[in-house]
């Protein structure tokens, strides 16, 4: 059993780009954490004990307290069941699962087993997000617009799963904006209309235009594009009833209010996520908010499907 007096020993399932770029350096930078091993049927990381399966990893390292699951979402539910059954605290990379039903099932299993679960939304830990939440809380807001546009060929090279069923397409990065949206707004967000542009050779959208509202009638517009060239855009624009204008840029690292930069910091989201995960384990609690995934599910449920040109990487 893990006690707060020792380092939390962590194993990784999935050793792809997100694990290498974010999870591994963030775990190693935290003195309260210890990265023990990782498993993947096809990848290895220099300096990290590697195994083909979770079973092999846990057999060799039964001391592991927690596991971060960094696989594509389509297989995450089945893996999470095994991790929780083994009694390990569980860190789910975003999105937490391929469907809302799977995510809720994972949460129920973790609660029944008594392990901590984190459905991680890394963008909520961007440096300017909390300041935006406070700004909104003090004002009447008249509109919100999300513009989230990036080049899939640059950021997701070779990741064919992202356009397969359950891969979410442009919602894979777009859900980051929805995680911020649901963190900064006090009211529930409801999807009203969505245009889903799906390449004829894919099963998930490459572009989306979506209209939403809160229970109190606040209009929210979101525009997502996976074919953006040139400047990459991860921004949220908010206007108050008095005409004040706020802009959150670069995924939450830069904040402008009425054209003046108020916050501009480097991204360090995963460091915050792992500190949060450790606090959950120490307190015997979980953080399993699925609101961003529910918005994507609703968009896919009522969205109009529009045939887009074939996508070729």
Alpha-carbon span 66 to 56, nearest angstrom: 15
What is the tally of helices (H) and strands (E) in the chain? 10, 15
Q: Tell me if residue 82 is catalytic.
A: no
Helix (H) or strand (E) holding 238, with range, is: strand 233-240
Residue 173 φ then ψ, to 5°? -80, -35
β-pairing, 207-214 vs 89-92, is unpaired
* Angle CA 133–273–124, to nearest 5: 25
d(CA 263, CA 248): 9
Output phi, psi for 29, to 5 deg.
-80, -10
Contacts of 112 (CB under 8 A, 6+ apart): none
* 155 phi/psi in degrees, rounded to 5: -95, -20
The DSSP 8-state label assigned to residue 242 in this structure reads T
Closest among 246, 140, 147 to 187, alpha carbons compared: 140
Separation between Cα atoms, residue 151 and residue 146, nearest integer Å: 17
Say how many C-beta atoms besides its own lie within 10 A of residue 54's C-beta. Answer: 20
The Cα 20–Cα 32 span in angstroms is 19
Which of 94, 145, 160, 245 is catalytic? The answer is: 94
Distances (CA, A) of 75 to 15, 115, 310: 14, 20, 26
Could you give the CA distance from residue 76 to residue 55 in angstroms, rounded to a whole number? 15
Q: End-to-end distance of the chain based on CA atoms, in angstroms? A: 47
Which residues are known to be catalytic?
A: 94
């Amino acid at each position: 059993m893990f006690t707060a007096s020792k380092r939390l020993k962590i194993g990784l399932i999935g050793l792809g780009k997100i694990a290498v770029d974010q999870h591994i350096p963030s775990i190693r930078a935290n003195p309260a954490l210890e990265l023990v091993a990782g498993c993947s049927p096809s990848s290895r990381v220099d300096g990290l004990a590697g195994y083909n399966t979770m079973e092999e990893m846990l057999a060799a390292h039964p001391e592991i307290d927690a596991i971060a699951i960094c696989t594509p979402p389509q297989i995450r539910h089945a893996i999470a069941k095994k991790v929780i059954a083994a009694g390990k605290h569980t860190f789910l990379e975003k999105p937490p699962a391929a469907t809302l039903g799977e995510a809720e099932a994972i949460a129920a299993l973790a609660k029944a087993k008594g392990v901590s679960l984190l459905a991680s939304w890394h963008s909520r830990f961007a440096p300017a997000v909390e300041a935006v939440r406070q700004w909104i809380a003090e004002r009447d807001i008249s509109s919100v617009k999300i513009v989230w546009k990036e080049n899939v060929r640059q950021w997701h090279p070779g990741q064919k799963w992202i356009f397969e069923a359950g891969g979410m397409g442009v919602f894979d990065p777009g859900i980051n904006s929805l995680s911020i949206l649901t963190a900064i707004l006090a009211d529930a967000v409801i999807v009203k209309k969505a245009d889903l542009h799906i390449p004829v050779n894919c099963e998930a959208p490459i572009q989306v235009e979506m209209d939403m509202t809160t229970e109190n009638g606040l209009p929210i517009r979101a525009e997502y594009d996976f074919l953006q060239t040139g400047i990459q855009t991860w921004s949220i624009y908010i206007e108050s009833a008095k005409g004040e204008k706020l802009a959150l840029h670069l995924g939450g690292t830069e904040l402008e209010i009425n054209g003046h930069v108020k916050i501009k910091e480097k991204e360090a989201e995963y460091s915050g996520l792992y500190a949060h995960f450790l606090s959950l384990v120490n307190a015997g609690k979980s953080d399993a908010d699925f609101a961003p995934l529910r918005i994507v599910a609703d968009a896919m449920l009522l969205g109009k499907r529009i045939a887009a040109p074939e996508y070729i990487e």
